Structure 1
Amino acid sequence: MKPTEPTSPLDALWQAPVIAWAMLAGEGVAAVLALAPGTSDNRWVAFGLISLVVQWVALGTLGGLYAGRRWLARLRPTYVAYLALAMLLLASWLICGLGWLLLGELWPTTTQEAQRMFLRISGITLTVGLMGLAAFQNHWRTRQMAVRAKQAELEALQARIRPHFLFNTLNTAAALVHQRPDATERLLLDLADLFRAALGGPAEVALADELALTRHYLEIESLRFGDRLRVNWRLPENLPPIPIPTLSIQPLVENAIRHGVEPTASGGEITIEVAITAGTVNVIVTNPLPGSGPLNGSGHHVGLSSARARVLAMTRGLGRLETAIADGHYTATITLPMPH
């Protein structure tokens, strides 16, 4: 279900942007060398020959690194850098050798000229290779730092949600412990299941497991609200085996209860629906608006922001979480791409 996305620096080498930039950089090197002093009078011919060599060297090196990326991924980054330089030199020597054989009179013919050309190409290859590796490592390091920063932000958001829910649940348990000890025991067991998933569970779970956790949460809240809380489940007979971020539906349901059930003396009904469309799975949580009108500015923006960010991160931008107000109801929809 996940799109092609580099998980290591080597995976990015054969993507269109990298290839395009490598070719543009190669043309720039060819242009500089063609304009350099000592080049033959016909600089267009020189540019064409140098461009041919540079492009084949660049593409050959990228292709070789990408073809061996699974094996190279086991090596330390320093060793991969040295190996990339060695492959760049090897590709330049190989292309120059083929050019000498195939281009005939257009290539240096004497041994002395060939040696000078060999040394010149080796020096240029090393210089350009070192510059390219430095630029690529800086780019990858910046990208990894951005990913780590985003992950830290998501963890901070989740940490801010848990205490709020914990305090509400413990208050409910304290109110019921003497009057309904059996219900209190069930509440604490459901709470343990939820926090086991939040604190020690995986970042992603199957949709069926996430809905089961949501049921545990609703069982807890039903002890608080009693008949005021009514839940309408609309699920297909067979849920698709699709992953979803852990505890991403629960904040939506908590939001629905807080704004659609709690403000009204008679309570309200929330609807949890799973709808399968062409290529997507939609999890829809709907609650009625309170009698005073649209939702105010307070609420579970932290929970929604965390769930939205985790859906985007898990689906690499293909999924989304959207909210809308229509016909007196507030709707939150998680859209996930179907696995291929």
Structure 2
Amino acid sequence: MQTLEASTHPLDTLSQAPTIVWVMIAGECLAIILSLAPGLHGDRVVYFGLASLMIQWVSLITLSWIFLFQRRLRTVSPQRLAWVVLAFLLLDTWVVLALAWLLASGSWPMEPGGWMLLTARVTGIALAFGFLGVAAFQNHWRGRLHAVRAKQSELQALQARIRPHFLFNTLNTGAALVHERPEEAERLLLDLADLFRAALGGPRQILLADELSLARRYLEIEALRFGDRLTVHWHLPRELPAVTVPALSIQPLVENAVRHGVERLPQGDVDVRVTTTPDHVVVRISNPLPPRDGTASTGHQVGLNASQVRIEAMTDGRGSVQTQVEDGRFIATVRLPVGV
């Protein structure tokens, strides 16, 4: 099973559009600084254009190498990855300089010393820029790991607050079934064992299909407790996408649907619907609201908050848990990005 810490690989950040935009902006700033340097011979505007072109080519080629080799690079530790990227940066700098010499040797505003001096200076600039980037990345990565570990501690505390309520309800149901329906009591205890095995396993990710299976076990337990008062509707695609979710992140939403919907009604239902798009998998859980006020209960938000925090942390903010009231039903919608 994959941990939360393993899901926050720096390659995920490097492949995002905002990172590419900031790399290009930093390149333009470097080109401006070089074109304004004292002692420069020739037209500074031309020098800026050529420097900007070269820097952007080096940056984009380096990002392209990272994208092409991302599968192999994922096996490299984040600290070593920074030095690998620096090596790519140097190699691409020399390649772009060689192409510039072949294609634009006559138009480049050359200083005394020719291309050898230019190559030495550009290499020095790339090294200085790269070393600063490595130092900044390592500081950022250490801070991020501390934040992730703090988040894991928070999630474990949230999980600990969920378990007692669910455990007490289930044990009460089991005690009521032991003498009258022992076979159902045995099934209840087996389902309970599976759920707590998942809960006690600590923060980790599991397949969506496995998480929905845990939610189904929970609903089977509650069906024994509520009898005809609870109806469950499942709407699943023929084949569930191979996306991962934090263990016991959807089950608490189903638990909320029972506790704040069915439990307060003479009869109710829980509707679980999974739909897919090219970019997302959407899990929608709905339940009827008590008719007294037509609003969601606010007495127990621990499960909702825990699911929201864990899914946002796992997906680096690309996933979400949103709630709404529509036509007298409370709806919790989990949006998961494909590829996480």
Does the 8 A contact of 2:311 with 2:321 survive in 1? yes
Does the 8 A contact of 1:248 with 1:307 survive in 2? yes
Does the 8 A contact of 2:257 with 2:270 survive in 1? no
User: How far apart are the structure 1 equivalents of 2:73 and 2:282?
Assistant: 37
Indicate whether 1:270 and 2:269 are aligned.
Answer: yes
- SS for the counterpart of 1:270 is strand
User: How far apart are the structure 2 equivalents of 1:231 and 1:27?
Assistant: 61
Q: Deviations over 1:234-257 (max 9, x none)?
A: 546x64414574444543443343
308-317 vs 128-137, greater mean Cα deviation:
308-317
- Indicate the structure (1 or 2) with the bigger Cα radius of gyration: 1
1:123-138 equivalences in 2 (<5 Å): 123-138=124-139
Identity %: 48
Does the 8 A contact of 1:173 with 1:188 survive in 2? yes
Residue type at the aligned position of 2:126? T
Indicate whether 1:203 and 2:219 are aligned.
Answer: no
Q: Number of residues paired by the alignment?
A: 327
1:38-49 equivalences in 2 (<5 Å): 38-40=39-41, 42-49=43-50
User: How far apart are the structure 2 equivalents of 1:105 and 1:206?
Assistant: 59
Unaligned runs of 5+ in 1: 1-5
Superposition TM-score, scaled by structure 1 size? 0.75
Does the 8 A contact of 1:260 with 1:288 survive in 2? yes
Does the 8 A contact of 2:323 with 2:331 survive in 1? yes
RMSD of aligned residue pairs (Cα, Å): 3.8
1:339/1:72 Cα in 2 relative to 1: closer, same or farther (>3 Å)? closer
| Structure-2 residue corresponding to 1:251 | 252
Unaligned runs of 5+ in 2: 1-6
User: How far apart are the structure 2 equivalents of 1:30 and 1:230?
Assistant: 67
1:1-340 equivalences in 2 (<5 Å): 8-10=9-11, 12-13=13-14, 15-40=16-41, 42-101=43-102, 102-104=104-106, 106=108, 108=110, 112-178=113-179, 181-200=182-201, 203-207=205-209, 210-227=211-228, 229-233=229-233, 235=235, 239-242=238-241, 243=243, 245=245, 246-263=247-264, 267-274=266-273, 276=275, 281-289=282-290, 291=292, 294=295, 296-299=297-300, 301-312=301-312, 320-326=320-326, 329-336=328-335
136-145 vs 303-312, greater mean Cα deviation:
136-145
Residue type at the aligned position of 1:272? D
Q: Shift in Å at residue 96 of structure 1? A: 3.1
Q: Shift in Å at residue 289 of structure 1? A: 0.3
Superposition TM-score, scaled by structure 2 size? 0.75
1:19/1:323 Cα in 2 relative to 1: closer, same or farther (>3 Å)? closer
User: How far apart are the structure 2 equivalents of 1:286 and 1:315?
Assistant: 26
The structure with higher relative contact order (CA 8 Å, sep 6+) is 2
Does the 8 A contact of 2:264 with 2:290 survive in 1? no
- SS for the counterpart of 1:233 is strand
